[in-house]
Amino acid sequence: MNAVYVLWLRQLKRYFRSRSRMVGSLGQPLLFLVALGFGFGPIYQRAGQGNYLQFLAPGVIGMTILFSAVFSGIELIWDRHFGFLKETLVAPVPRIMIMIGRTLGGASVAMIQGLIVVGICLVAGFRPVSYATLPHALLCMALLAVMFTALGTAIASILGDFQGFQLVMNFLVMPMFFLSGALFPLNSVPRALRIVASLDPLAYGVDGMRAALTGVPAHFGWAADIGVLSAAAVFLVVLGSYLFSRVEV
């Protein structure tokens, strides 16, 4: 457990020491929130759908967690190239504990990023329908953070260079984001697109957060959202642990 705590703390220290990373990682969420939230807001309202900012905010929060969590896998490649991973792996600690520590650290960073964006959304005009449902939204955020951090670690465990990781992540991350219903309601899309969205784990996180924060009925259902997120998180942590155990340095 000491190894888990040390690696978790190291991830947090690395994040807070990198001010450029803290500021730079907020650029894309701000762009989506301002450009889309205020740009498409009048069109969305005239279509009779209500306040677009209220609809968009949970999607932007989910996007922030997705990008921050998945790209935490780059740190694994960085540590492998500069020797820190070798020093960690030779320690008398099971590799699964190392992987859990890294996952919890990356998930904590993603959660912090998500909470910062929540604050920005509140400043921009987003208002939760009830603060009593905030724990439900936080649960969805935490499951998303663990799930996608484990995914990033799993992919980084089988790739050896930064370029390959970025290509694979762009191939996976962008489709997951755009098909998650973060930018548009899934109720009004063609059936084929709804089926594809139902295979996207991010869609369940965004759906759960949106239901908790805005009070709209969950598209998939609250039980389905939590069930899928929990199952996907467990599966990816197990997969990431297996692939990490096979890492050679």
- 82-97: pLDDT as tens digits: 666 666 666 667 778 8
Take residue 88 and report the two structure tokens written for it: 């960690």
Q: How far is it, in rounded angstroms, from Cα 13 to Cα 144? A: 22
Taking residues 29-52, what's their average pLDDT? 77
User: Please, which pLDDT band fits residue 223 given cuts at 50, 70 and 90?
Assistant: very high
pTM: 0.89
pLDDT tens track for 119-168: 988 888 888 988 888 999 999 999 999 999 999 888 888 876 777 777 77
User: Range of 113's domain?
Assistant: 2-245
Residue 171: pLDDT over 80 = yes
More confident residue, 27 or 172: 172
Q: Rounded to the nearest 5°, which phi and psi values hold at 65?
A: -65, -40
Tally the domains of the chain: 1
Q: DSSP string spanning the chain?
A: -HHHHHHHHHHHHHHHH-HHHHHHTTHHHHHIIIIIHHHSHHHHHHTT---HHHHHHHHHHHHHHHHHHHTTHHHHHHHHHTTHHHHHHTSSS-HHHHHHHHHHHHHHHHHHHHHHHHHHHHHHT---S-GGGHHHHHHHHHHHHHHHHHHHHHHHHH--SHHHHHHHHHHHHHHHHHTTTSSS-GGGS-HHHHHHHTT-HHHHHHHHHHHHHH-PPPSS-HHHHHHHHHHHHHHHHHHHHHHHHT---
Place of tokens 């790209």: 71
Distances (CA, A) of 45 to 37, 178, 212, 218: 11, 21, 21, 21
